[in-house]
Amino acid sequence: MAEENYDSRKIDGRSLSKKVEDQVKQGVDRLKAEKGITPGLATILVGEDPASKMYVRLKHKACDRVGIHAEDHNMPESITQEELILRIQELNVRKDIHGILLQLPLPQHLDDKSAMLAIDPAKDADGFHPYNMGKLLIGDEGLVPCTPKGVIRALEEYDVEIQGKHAVIVGHSNVVGKPMAAMLINRNATVSVCHVFTDDLKKFTLDADILVVGTGVMHLIKADMVKEGAVIFDVGISEKEGKVYGDVDFDNVVKKASLITPVPGGVGPMTIAILMEHVLMAASNI
């Protein structure tokens, strides 16, 4: 018997991100032509973590594609909290820099919360500043975390109904889980947030109409843990022997899902495209 082809169930993050980037590029061209403003992003990378270096490189390449000026602020692992905050303050007052991004995670001796707090909320391209997180909680979504916003954009593009659905999030990080919950609640989903201390994870995941998984635990979610027809977003990323894996056992889970993101090529590229959108928004003063 011929193997079934599940390609139509795959959410293609690469082509969705291209669509977003094309729109950003048009906006950037307009801003340059009408106001003489070139949007600028400064990325701050502390230390030499290879994955973080790669993500920053990907962000710079995206800036090149859409016409955003990108500046690399690589700082040695040994810097102090004061030096980091000083650099952020210098970028806050620069007229040519509209977005500031502090690549996470930071080395252990540095505190990401007070560093985030130092970023001008109007330049907070990642949407992690407590002011922007607070606005998100009250339903005012401006600069919000890029990965969950990418998930919402994909749900919209694929015409997935959110209102009244049971959305289950696995992982309660500040980068994905918590803001994802807020965005889904803002759209009237019934939301369950599971994490490492959740008893009987499967009980929740089996009931999910929309499942978002971001834990970094390779292939945590197996086919017997998901409902037939669920829409599944895999936000996890782990590396083993040079290969990249998600949190979802894609090859088996795809047989039950109605839509599912692969890793790579799913939510990752969308995260970067939304970041581009945010720099344009900040430069346009939206």
Ligand X SMILES: Nc1nc2c(c(=O)[nH]1)N[C@@H](CN(C=O)c1ccc(C(=O)N[C@@H](CCC(=O)O)C(=O)O)cc1)CN2
Annotated active-site residue in 103, 124, 209, 249: 103
How would DSSP label each residue in the chain? -PPPP-GGGB--HHHHHHHHHHHHHHHHHHHHHHH----EEEEEEES--HHHHHHHHHHHHHHHHHT-EEEEEEE-TT--HHHHHHHHHHHHT-TT--EEEE-SSPPTTS-HHHHHHHS-GGGBTT--SHHHHHHHHTT--SS--HHHHHHHHHHHHTT---TT-EEEEE---TTTHHHHHHHHHHTT-EEEEE-TT-S-HHHHHTT-SEEEE-S--TT-B-GGGS-TT-EEEE---EEETTEEE-SB-HHHHTTT-SEE--SSSSHHHHHHHHHHHHHHHHHHT-
Is 108 noted as a catalytic residue in this protein? no
* 268 sits near ligand X (criterion: CB under 6 A): yes
Contacts of 21 (CB under 8 A, 6+ apart): 62, 65, 66, 273, 276
By CB under 6 A, residue 63 contacts ligand X: no
From the CB of 54, what's the least distance to ligand X, in Å?
A: 6
- Among residues 225, 271, 277, 281, the one that binds ligand X under rule CB under 6 A: 271
58 binds ligand X (CB under 6 A): yes
- Is 126 a binding residue for ligand X by CB under 6 A? The answer is yes
Nearer to ligand X, 95 or 243 (CB): 243
The answer to whether residue 265 forms part of the interface with ligand X (CB under 6 A) is yes
- The least CB distance from residue 255 to ligand X, in Å, is 22
Q: Which of 123, 124, 126, 247 is catalytic?
A: 126
Q: Which of the stretches 21-29, 63-71, 84-92, 262-270 binds ligand X when contact is defined by CB under 6 A?
A: 262-270
Candidates 69-77, 207-215, 247-255, 267-275 — which segment interacts with ligand X by CB under 6 A?
267-275
Is 163 known to be catalytic?
no
Q: Please choose, out of 4-12, 69-77, 102-110, 205-213, the segment that lies near ligand X by the rule CB under 6 A.
A: 102-110
Q: How far is CA 122 from CA 56, 97, 115, 129, 278, in A?
A: 21, 11, 15, 10, 10
* 53 labelled catalytic: no
Q: Is 232 in the site for ligand X (CB under 6 A)?
A: no
- Crossing angle (nearest 10°) for helices 130-137 and 177-186: 30
The binder of ligand X chosen from 86, 196, 244, 286 (CB under 6 A):
244
Q: Which CB sits closer to ligand X, 209 or 234?
A: 234
Is 102 a binding residue for ligand X by CB under 6 A? The answer is yes
Q: Does 216 bind ligand X (CB under 6 A)?
A: no
Interface stretch with ligand X, choices 2-10, 72-80, 266-274, 278-286 (CB under 6 A): 266-274
Q: Which of 104, 122, 206, 217 contacts ligand X by CB under 6 A?
A: 104
Residues near ligand X (CB under 6 A) are: 55, 58, 101-104, 126, 146-147, 175, 237, 244, 263-266, 268-269, 271-272
